[in-house]
């Protein structure tokens, strides 16, 4: 009896043990690709046959809510740390550190990056090798480590060259084990978006065709090398792009003289250090323009997660979508820009994923970009650093999660059936064991209330 009951529960546990044992093997390699400035709705506005083919084999997250500010450096570091900008310290593309008195603009100084641990370091601590091609921060010695293989940043290196090197590093050789994580960055369509603006259909169509061609190159390269179907690939971006115009200029000189402040960053999020009384400078900026919101550092909304870091300046100015902050003049620096409030759909990128770990033909409406980091840790079995992401938000995309649930349910159902069958058999046996005494009791009752003739028949 007890053996049958135990077998029922053990059958359910068997599937769990099988999946657990499989997870102890080396996981499939992971490739993370970013096409800078790829606004989410480009997927609906422009033909993207190769990218469509890619996510039809896997998963498409239609909108990825990125972190504030919606700039290149903060968001690329958030993707590989799972942290908001205030937590990882890369709060803008131009920064000032009041402790070291240093200025940042694409700096290779580790001081700026050491407030967080990027994913490639965690992967290496887990015993694997990594590679990166131009990913922001990957050519910096963060916590005294770089990726196992990397390129110093050089915008003239083609996408094909970056891709070929990363895939070769993943494949490895007879003498060298292949890397398990690779990161690849490409500058488009961000460059074209700034130059032409996202509403310029003709020029953006050409730029996005080149991006889609690069996705086609990636698929072909993965098939040629035999990696397709054996590697998990995440294709995403850091931010979107908004259309700007000369009719939407905000001039700081119209509000206060430049002697009153030191400018750290400009448009569409301006960062200022007041040279005089902070409250007086803020009062002037607070009424400067109806399409610009001024915040004292301590008054920045909680939802932006942009307050708790020394590199966030005492006064922050945020322009409305499509507006540009300048100090003076009528010159428009660019026709397309980003950095605006991260709740705006125009600032959102997308996420596509395909590979053996992902479901096929699956769609998700929206996720947070900080969720990508715990997903990558889960895919490679790497212990995550403290982060702002939530793994549970993203597990629905995975085949393993569906298989896990099916295995558990099937195991428990079969186990339950065995238990019920065992109980039924035992109940019938107990009835048979007790049947003679039950019959004797019935006979005595009939004797007591029957006549002599009945008694003779029953004895």
Positions annotated as catalytic residues are: 72
Going across the sheet that includes 269-274, the strands are 261-265, 269-274, 315-319, 292-296
Alpha-carbon gap, residue 23 to 270, rounded angstroms: 47
Going by DSSP bridges, is the β-strand pair 30-35/232-236 parallel, antiparallel, or unpaired? parallel
C-alpha angle with apex 136: 133 to 137, nearest 5 degrees?
A: 100
- Cross-strand pairs, 65: 368
Q: Are 270 and 325 in contact (CB under 8 A)?
A: yes
Question: How far is it between the farthest Cα atoms of the chain?
Answer: 126
Residue with tokens 């003709």: 202
Q: Are 375 and 396 in contact (CB under 8 A)?
A: no
Residues belonging to the chain: 459
Phi, psi angles (nearest 5°) of residue 182: -130, 145
- Angle between helix 2-23 and 399-449 (nearest 10): 180
HSE value, Cβ hemisphere, 13 Å, CA-based, for 129: 14
Q: Are 72 and 36 in contact (CB under 8 A)?
A: yes
Going by DSSP bridges, is the β-strand pair 324-326/232-236 parallel, antiparallel, or unpaired? unpaired
* Three-state DSSP state, 319: strand
Kindly state the helix (H) or strand (E) to which residue 65 belongs, with its residue range: strand 59-65
Going by DSSP bridges, is the β-strand pair 315-319/130-133 parallel, antiparallel, or unpaired? unpaired
- Angle between helix 72-81 and 372-380 (nearest 10): 40
Residues with Cβ within 8 Å of residue 421, at least 6 apart in sequence: 4
Kindly state the helix (H) or strand (E) to which residue 223 belongs, with its residue range: helix 201-224
> Long-range contacts of range 377-380, CB-CB < 8 Å, 24 or more positions apart?
377/119, 377/122, 379/27, 379/28, 379/30, 379/232, 380/27, 380/30, 380/123, 380/126, 380/128, 380/180, 380/181
Phi, psi angles (nearest 5°) of residue 9: -75, -35
Q: Token digits for 294? A: 């001024």
């Amino acid at each position: 009896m007890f053996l049958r009951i135990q077998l029922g529960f053990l059958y359910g546990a068997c599937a769990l043990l099988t999946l657990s044992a499989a997870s102890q093997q080396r996981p499939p390699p992971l490739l993370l690709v970013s096409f800078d400035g790829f606004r989410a709705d480009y997927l609906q506005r422009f033909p993207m046959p190769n990218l469509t083919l890619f996510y039809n084999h896997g998963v498409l997250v239609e909108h990825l809510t990125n972190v504030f500010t919606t700039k290149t450096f903060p968001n690329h570091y958030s993707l590989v740390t799972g942290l908001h900008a205030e937590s990882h310290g890369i709060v803008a593309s131009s920064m000032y550190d009041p402790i070291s008195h240093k200025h940042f603009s694409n700096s290779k100084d580790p001081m700026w990056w050491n407030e967080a641990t990027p994913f490639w370091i965690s992967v290496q601590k887990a015993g694997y090798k990594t590679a990166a091609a131009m990913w922001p921060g990957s050519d910096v010695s963060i916590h005294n480590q770089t990726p196992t293989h990397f390129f110093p940043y050089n915008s003239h290196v083609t996408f094909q060259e970056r891709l070929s090197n990363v895939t070769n590093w993943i494949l490895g050789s007879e003498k060298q084990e292949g890397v398990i994580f690779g990161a690849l960055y490409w500058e488009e369509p961000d460059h074209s978006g700034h130059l032409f603006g996202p509403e310029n259909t003709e020029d953006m169509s050409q730029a996005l065709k080149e991006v889609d061609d690069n996705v086609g190159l990636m698929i072909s390269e993965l098939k040629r090398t035999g990696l397709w179907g054996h590697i998990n690939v995440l294709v995403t971006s850091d931010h979107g792009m908004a259309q700007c115009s000369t009719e939407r200029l905000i001039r700081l000189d119209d509000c206060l003289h430049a002697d009153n402040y030191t400018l750290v960053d400009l448009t569409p999020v301006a960062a200022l250090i007041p040279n005089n009384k902070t409250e007086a400078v803020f009062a002037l900026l607070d009424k400067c323009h109806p399409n610009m919101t001024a915040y004292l550092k301590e008054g920045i909304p909680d939802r932006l997660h942009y307050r708790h870091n020394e590199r966030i300046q005492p006064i922050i100015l945020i322009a409305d979508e499509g507006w540009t902050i300048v100090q003076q003049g009528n010159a428009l620096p660019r026709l397309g820009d980003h950095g605006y409030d991260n709740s705006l759909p125009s600032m959102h990128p997308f996420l596509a994923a395909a590979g053996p770990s992902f479901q096929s033909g699956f769609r998700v409406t929206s996720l947070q970009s900080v969720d990508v980091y715990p997903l990558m840790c889960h895919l490679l079995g790497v212990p995550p650093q403290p982060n702002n992401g939530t793994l549970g938000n993203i597990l629905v995309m995975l085949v393993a999660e569906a298989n896990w649930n099916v295995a558990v349910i099937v195991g428990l159902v079969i186990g339950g059936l065995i238990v019920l069958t065992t109980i039924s058999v035992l109940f019938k046996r107990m009835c048979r064991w007790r049947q003679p005494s039950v019959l004797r009791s019935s006979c005595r009752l009939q004797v007591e209330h029957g006549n002599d003739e009945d008694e003779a028949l029953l004895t």
